[in-house]
Structure 1
Amino acid sequence: MTFLKWLLIVLAAIYVIVVGVIFVRQRAMLFPIPPVGRIAPEAAGFPQAEEHVLTSADGEKVIVWHVPAQPGRKVVLYFPGNGDFLAGVVSRFKALTSDGTGLVALSYRGYAGSTGSPSEQGLLQDAAAAYAFTRERYDAQRIVAWGFSLGSGVATAIAAEHPIAKLVLEAPYTSTVDVASDMLKVVPVSLLMRDRFHSDRRIANVNVPLLIMHGAKDPGIPIRFGQRLFTLAHEPKRFVRFPDGGHNDLDFFGATDTAKTFIDGP
């Protein structure tokens, strides 16, 4: 009995330590910033883009890449995933803009040359600055917000609060706390998590055409989260399931082409 008692005490102590480490390092886990500094579009092989430095509401300097839209074409306001940096998404950006579609792509605070440290509130302020930049140059009916993974929560927040034409969500979630709770089933995530990105609450305020794309084999954000968010959304809406798609590989299955068809449609 004494041995069992001490074993339980040791296991409880280990559990408390692990939970404490997760609590302290949760933002490093949610925002795994790639060790990449500022890269100019031309150096990344994307000279079509112009680099601009914006000032967020709280004074951070964040970078956007802008490819001007051709007359009559939409402009995509792009919000990357949590492990992305703009130079790493150039192949997608080239495919997206090849027909004259415009682009404004945001480098979140703390990422690839932008100042500050990421948080939900901070990313939403960065997104608001990127939206204002875009709105100064384009009518709202030309703006399509596109969010990938973590960026889907940012794009949903923008679409819920600002006029746009359409919304594209790729590998989205109901909330980051739902995804984290699913991954860490024995940890009280709902009590500990700071940055929750509740798309499930914001989607009710989105009243524009919606496209959701998700891989059926997504190991990071299981497709059921995207499906659940889809059920909460207003019409008109479309869900595209890629049977063999994972998380970062949906372009191999036609994600950008699918999105371009949606963007160019009625």
Structure 2
Amino acid sequence: MSFGKLATGGLTALLVFAIVVTAILYTQQRRILFPAPARYPATPPQGFRLVHTRTDDGLRFSAFYRPAAPGAKTILFFHGNGDNLAGAVQATRGPAAAGAGLMLAEYRGYGGNPGSPGEDGLYRDGEAAMRWLADAGAAPRDIVVVGNSIGSGPATEMALRHDVAALVLVSGFSDLPAVVRSQVPLIPRGLVRDRFDNAVKLPRVKAPVFLMHGDADTLVRPDNLARLRAARPDATVAVVAGAGHELAYTDPAQAILGRWVDRLRLRAPD
């Protein structure tokens, strides 16, 4: 067999391989990006109660809720893609100790909830949580929306749509394709179906914005923080030295978050 035929055969095989890999990544990426834990808490911890939200496409979800102390804000918390409500409890213990109310939202396809996760679906899930809080008597101006990691997507969208008290992004990204490409540089941006364009949206968020990031985060790298800061120059920023992507669960993060939320008690309404 000639060298030319070998080369042509090799290029053909490489092209077929690339097409197959691309097809798998495109069709299966949500399984990779939303690895819902198989185990989830069936009952809420002390101080919380199990509540149910309903989305505008007819899905009923479980969530954990605890009311705010008098004069305190309520946090609407969106957890990361590999977490669940048990982790959300740990990631909000600082504000809880300061008396903040907590609405720990869950996503479709997580925690025994019906449906499959995706960008539009997570926005619907966030809206369901906002409606539940409104029915419970929590006005948007009394709600602090907090998103950790992929939760920064629905958190930013809710802060854009509603006149909330503040938006807090912990280990947040500028957009999801940037995160994917930082891990697998050969993947084209257009291949990533879910965008979560947080940096594009931040300038239009009316509420104060707080950004917290670990300088040792290798998953959502600190260049994401740089892009978020550029999009929102007036944001309050905390960079936690030595912290990785587990930042939200650490004691320093809880102390910072607790102080930020408690400080909002003293903020006069516009």
TM range (shorter): over 0.9
The equivalent residue for 1:17 is: 20
In the other structure, the counterpart of 1:82 is 81
Q: Does 1:127 pair with 2:126?
A: yes
Query: Could you tell me whether the CA contact under 8 Å between 2:95 and 2:261 is conserved in 1?
Result: no
Q: Which stretch has the larger CA shift, 48-57 or 83-92?
A: 83-92
User: 1:160 corresponds to which residue?
Assistant: 160
Check conservation: 2:94, 2:258, Cα contact below 8 A.
Answer: no
Q: Distance in 2 between matches of 1:158 and 1:252?
A: 25
Q: How far apart in 2 are the matches of 1:241 and 1:93?
A: 18
Contact 1:174/1:228 (CA < 8 Å) preserved in 2?
Answer: yes
Corresponding residue of 1:7: 10
The SS at the match of 1:33 is coil
Distance 2:90 2:148 in 1: 15
Aligned-pair identity (%): 30
The runs of at least 4 consecutive aligned structure 1 residues that moved more than 6 Å come to none
Q: Which residue of 2 aligns with 1:264?
A: 262
Contact 2:145/2:166, CA 8 A, preserved across alignment: yes
* Residue segments in structure 1 that go unaligned for 5+ positions in a row: none
User: Which AA in structure 2 matches 1:27?
Assistant: R
> Relative contact order (alpha carbons < 8 A, sep ≥ 6): 1 or 2 greater?
2
- The 1:38–1:257 alpha-carbon spacing in structure 2 relative to 1, beyond 3 Å, is closer
Alignment of 1:60-99 (within 5 A): 60-99=59-98
- When normalised by structure 1's length, the TM-score is 0.92
* Aligned residue runs from structure 1 range 245-264, under 5 A: 245-252=243-250, 254-264=252-262
Residue 29 (1) aligns with residue 27 (2) = no
1:244 corresponding residue in structure 2: 242
Instruction: State the match for 2:150 in structure 1.
Output: 150
Q: Which amino acid aligns with 2:145?
A: A
Which sits farther off after the overlay, 214-223 or 87-96? 87-96
- 1:84/1:156 Cα in 2 relative to 1: closer, same or farther (>3 Å)? same
TM-score, normalised to structure 2, is: 0.91
Aligned length: 260
The aligned counterpart of 1:218 is 217
Residue deviations 1:6-48 (CA, integer Å, cap 9, x gap): 222222222221111111101111111111245110xxxx121
Paired residue secondary structure (1:32): coil
CA distance in structure 2 between the aligned counterparts of 1:234 and 1:104, rounded to whole angstroms: 29
- Could you say what the CA RMSD is over the residues aligned between the two structures, in angstroms? 1.6
Q: In structure 2, the residue corresponding to 1:254 is in which secondary structure?
A: helix
Q: CA distance change for structure 1 residues 214 and 230 in 2, over 3 Å: closer, same or farther?
A: same
CA contact (8 A) 1:170 1:212 kept: yes
How many Å separate the matches in 1 of 2:238 and 2:94?
Answer: 19
User: Would you say the 8 A contact 1:215–1:250 is kept in 2?
Assistant: no
1:39 pairs, out of 18, 36, 42, with 42
Cα distance, 1:163 vs. partner?
1.1
SS at match of 1:81: coil
Partners of 1:255 and 1:37 in 2: CA distance? 24
Of the structure 1 ranges 167-176 and 30-39, higher mean CA displacement relative to structure 2 is found in: 30-39
